Structure formats: C-alpha cells, structure tokens
C-alpha cells in the first residue's frame, strides 16, 4: 500500500548506549539547564569554566503521528553540580495521556516521576530494568554512577514534550550525593 513505511532495524550498543543508526541527535549542556539544579552557583562556575555536555539522545526518525513509536537511547554522562548528579531536564508529554517505556542498558540511575496531583515515584535503573511510565506522569532520569548511564526508550510518536511546567516547579525530590552515596531528599525549591 502506498504511504506505508518500511520497517526499521537498529542496534543498541550495550556498552556505549548508542543506537545505530540514528537520524536525530540532541546534546544538552549544563548551560541549557539553568535554574534546574539546586546549587545555582556551582552550575554557574562549571558553565563559566567551559560548560559540559550532560546528556545526548540518539533517535530513529519516524513520522511524529499517532500509531508510530519513537525509539531512542539517552546517554547521561557522569558528573555532579554541587552534590546533585547529572540528570535530564524532565518533562510531561504534551499529550499527557501518553505513556512511555524505559529499559536500562548501561550504568546506574534513577527515573523520578511525578503527577500534577503531587504524587512522586522513583525506580532504580540498571541494565535490564524496565520502567513503565504511565500516562500523566512527568519523568526525569538521573545518573548516580561513576560512568555513563544509558537507557532505551519507546513512546507514542504524537506524545510531544512539555518542559515548561518542570522548569517552573522542579520535582518534589532530588537525588544528591551524601557521604559518597546517592541519597533521596526533599527538594526545598519545589513549587
């Protein structure tokens, strides 16, 4: 039938977290994440001393339409801003009833999720762990390890990304390094 897309094959490199091939690549630096970390001064000083790529997304290109599935890997580099581990910006889906699956591929991290009603949930990620992010849950991932944290993700192609509310409110909890260990604490700046 005309208009039917051909199947795609890709390979996840379980060591580097790369998805091969990929058509879209996003790289986010600390300077793209102003206001998202607890320690603004620590962020400013890293940005002033040359900035740093925090994470990259490697994505296959599919039509951004209902029925298709976006699939990609995210690689978060190791590092901290003050005591706070490198993490993604985090978002609600623009179509809030769209869900998502994450599969841990390399390294260790957390997925933190929240609803607009103030529920919060964390899933500890490592290779093989699957996290199901149901409709209406915003999500962010955090690298708590000394090496990369990489995961594979699949979500409806018409979901869209809303970063605005998270930029305003943050997440209710933070994952900080305390005495050399990842520790979940309340976010004093939440809302």
Burial of 8 (0-12, 13-18, 19+ CB in 10 A): exposed
Stretch that binds ligand PAN, among 3-11, 84-92, 104-112, 167-175 (CB under 6 A): 84-92
89 touching ligand PAN, by CB under 6 A: yes
Contact stretch for Zn ion (CB under 5 A) within 37-45, 98-106, 117-125, 143-151: 98-106
DSSP type of residue 166: H
**Residue 104 CB partners (closer than 8 Å, separation 6+):** 125, 126, 127, 128, 129, 130, 131, 150, 151
Which positions from 17 through 46 interact with ligand PAN, judged by CB under 6 A? none
Q: Which is closer to ligand PAN, CB of 72 or CB of 106?
A: 72
**How many residues form the binding site for ligand PAN (CB under 6 A)?**
14
Q: Cα–Cα distance between 146 and 120 in angstroms, integer?
A: 26
- Single out the residue of 19, 30, 57, 144 in contact with ligand PAN (rule: CB under 6 A): 57
Residue 127 CB, shortest distance to ligand PAN, in Å, is 16
Q: Which helix (H) or strand (E) holds 110?
A: strand 109-114
Chain residues that interact with Zn ion, rule: CB under 5 A = 100
């Amino acid at each position: 039938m005309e208009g039917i897309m051909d199947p795609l094959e890709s390979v996840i490199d379980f060591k580097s977290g790369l998805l091969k091939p990929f058509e879209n690549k996003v790289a986010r630096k600390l300077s793209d994440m102003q206001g998202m970390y607890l320690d603004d001064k620590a962020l400013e000083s890293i940005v002033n001393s040359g900035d740093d790529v925090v994470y990259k997304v490697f994505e296959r290109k599919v039509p951004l339409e209902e029925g298709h599935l976006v699939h990609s890997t995210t690689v978060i580099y190791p590092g901290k801003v003050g005591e706070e581990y490198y993490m993604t910006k985090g978002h609600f889906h623009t179509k809030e009833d769209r869900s998502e699956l994450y599969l841990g591929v390399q390294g260790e991290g957390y997925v933190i999720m929240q609803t607009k009603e103030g529920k919060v949930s964390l899933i500890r990620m490592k290779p093989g762990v699957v996290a199901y992010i149901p409709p209406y849950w915003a999500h962010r991932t955090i690298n708590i390890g000394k090496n990369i944290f990489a995961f594979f993700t699949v979500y409806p192609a018409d979901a869209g990304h809303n970063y605005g509310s998270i930029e305003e409110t943050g997440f209710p909890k933070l994952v900080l390094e305390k005495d050399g260990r990842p520790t979940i604490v309340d976010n004093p700046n939440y809302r």
